[in-house]
Amino acid sequence: MGCEALGLSWDERNQRVAQERAAIVETRGTSFDVCDVRHLDSRHDLRCKFDVVICLETIEHILDDQKLINDMTGCLRNMGTLLLTTPYKRFRAIGPQPDDGPLSILEDGGHVRRGYLDSDLRTLCARAGLEVDEISYCSGFMSQKITYLLRIGSKVNRLLAWLAILPIRVLPLLDPALGRVLKWPDYSICLRAHKPSTLQSFAVGETGQEFQPARLARG
């Protein structure tokens, strides 16, 4: 699409494989850095550099979620967009674990909170100086059931599990209708917010610490 994209992850192997796959499909303008998003503020080279920041199903693993939002805001140019998804606090558990807990008290890779409400995301954005454009929901009944089958099958063989669910991956098209009939909540809440042109390039916390900004895209 003509964008330059930077993918961040703490996992060195993940980034190496991502770079190899990008080369195979000849994707230009993509790079993959090793970076722990909890320390995104240390990447001064990323300040005010991106038109879009994408953070999918990550913030629920981070204890200091406000700092993460602040740091990602610091990575955005004026009028840049944050796209974020995270579990919806009122979801129904796909399976007994990990959805029904126990929640992690340390950042060990598990969820440190069940999820977020509309009001939670609006508060985080307001504190970071972001303006919320839209809050929506995704991953309904069929999506959740297919995910559960994938989890069970992956305990035997992940590749075979993916192949087994492939023929039924069209079924999530029924999610909106089934959600209305069954009154089944979507699993994830989705946020689209932007950094207003009047916001400074970084936010300053009560202690005077500068907060700067999972996946990033630059136009």
Q: Where are the alpha helices (DSSP H) in 25-114?
A: 65-75
Average pLDDT over residues 183-205: 81
149-169 pLDDT per residue, tens? 999 999 999 999 999 999 999
pLDDT score of 198: 76
pTM, entire model: 0.85
Per DSSP, what are the bridge partners of residue 30?
5
For the chain, percent of residues with pLDDT exceeding 70: 89
Q: What is the DSSP string of 186-213?
A: PSEEEEEEE--TTS-SSEE-TTS-EE--
pLDDT score of 93: 84
Mean pLDDT of all residues in the chain? 89
What are the structural domains, with CATH classification, of the chain? Answer: 4-139+186-218 (3.40.50.150), 140-185 (no CATH)
* Cα–Cα distance, 99 to 85 (Å, whole number): 16
* Cβ burial, residue 28 (10 Å; 0-12/13-18/19+): exposed
| pLDDT bucket at 205, cuts 50 / 70 / 90 | very low
71-123 pLDDT per residue, tens? 999 999 999 999 999 999 999 987 766 677 789 999 998 999 999 999 999 99
* Cα–Cα distance, 208 to 206 (Å, whole number): 5
Q: What is the DSSP string of 145-194?
A: HHHHHHHHHHTT-HHHHHHHHGGGTTGGGGHHHHHHHHTPPPSEEEEEEE
